[in-house]
Amino acid sequence: QVQLQESGPGLVKPSGTLSLTCAVSGDSISSNYWWSWVRQPPGKGLEWIGEIYHSGTTNYNPSLKSRVTVSVDKSKNHFSLKLSSVTAADTAVYYCASSARLAGGGSYSAVIDYWGQGTLVTVSS
């Protein structure tokens, strides 16, 4: 059973870069999963941000693609999110997640099987 734990600053200044890390336990990050980030603004719905495979292949939401980088560190068994040029609209609970059930011949996630507990990131000066 995969377990995920987000960490990172809870407050980021406008125009700055949001950086979060997700520690993976219970399995290797090099196993056959896609590793994802999903966010949820307060009181609103879920938005998929992007994902990475242990090979380094990434998929991003086009609405955020110009500002997002997802990376993986196999030596630490974790993956990370960077979101640049943040504004108040980026204030949200950020979840890291993983998918063992894949689509498109394995080229992206189908079902989000495991979720971290989520971490609130507020963008404010």
Partner 1 sequence: DIQMTQSPSSLSASVGDRVTITCQASQDIRTYLNWYQQKPGKAPKVLIYDASNLETGVPSRFSGSGSGTDFSFTISSLQPEDIATYYCQQYDNLPLRFGQGTRLEIK
Using rule CB under 8 A, residue 95 touches partner 1: yes
Picking from 100, 72, 74, the residue whose alpha carbon sits closest to that of residue 1 is 100
With vertex at residue 64, the alpha carbon angle to CA 48 and CA 66, rounded to the nearest 5 degrees, is: 145
Please identify, using beta-carbon distances, which residue of 5 and 16 lies nearer to partner 1: 5
H, E, C per residue of 96-108: EEEECEEEHHHCE
Residue closer to partner 1, measured from CB, 27 or 47: 47
- Comparison of 16 and 115: residue with beta carbon closer to partner 1: 115
Say whether residue 63 binds partner 1 (CB under 8 A). Answer: yes
Q: Which stretch binds partner 1 (CB under 8 A): 24-32, 67-75, 84-92, 111-119?
A: 111-119
Complex with partner 1: residue 11 or 110, whichever CB lies closer = 110
Instruction: Tell me: does residue 61 bind partner 1 (CB under 8 A).
Output: yes
Take residue 53 and report the two structure tokens written for it.
């495979």
Is residue 63 within 8 Å of 92, Cβ to Cβ?
A: no
Part in contact with partner 1 (CB under 8 A); list of ranges 10-18, 66-74, 77-85, 102-110: 102-110
Question: Residue 121 and residue 39: Cα distance in Å, rounded?
Answer: 10
| 105 contacts: CB under 8 Å, gap ≥ 6 | none
Q: Which residues bind partner 1 (CB under 8 A)?
A: 45-48, 59-63, 95, 97, 101, 103-104, 108-113, 115-118
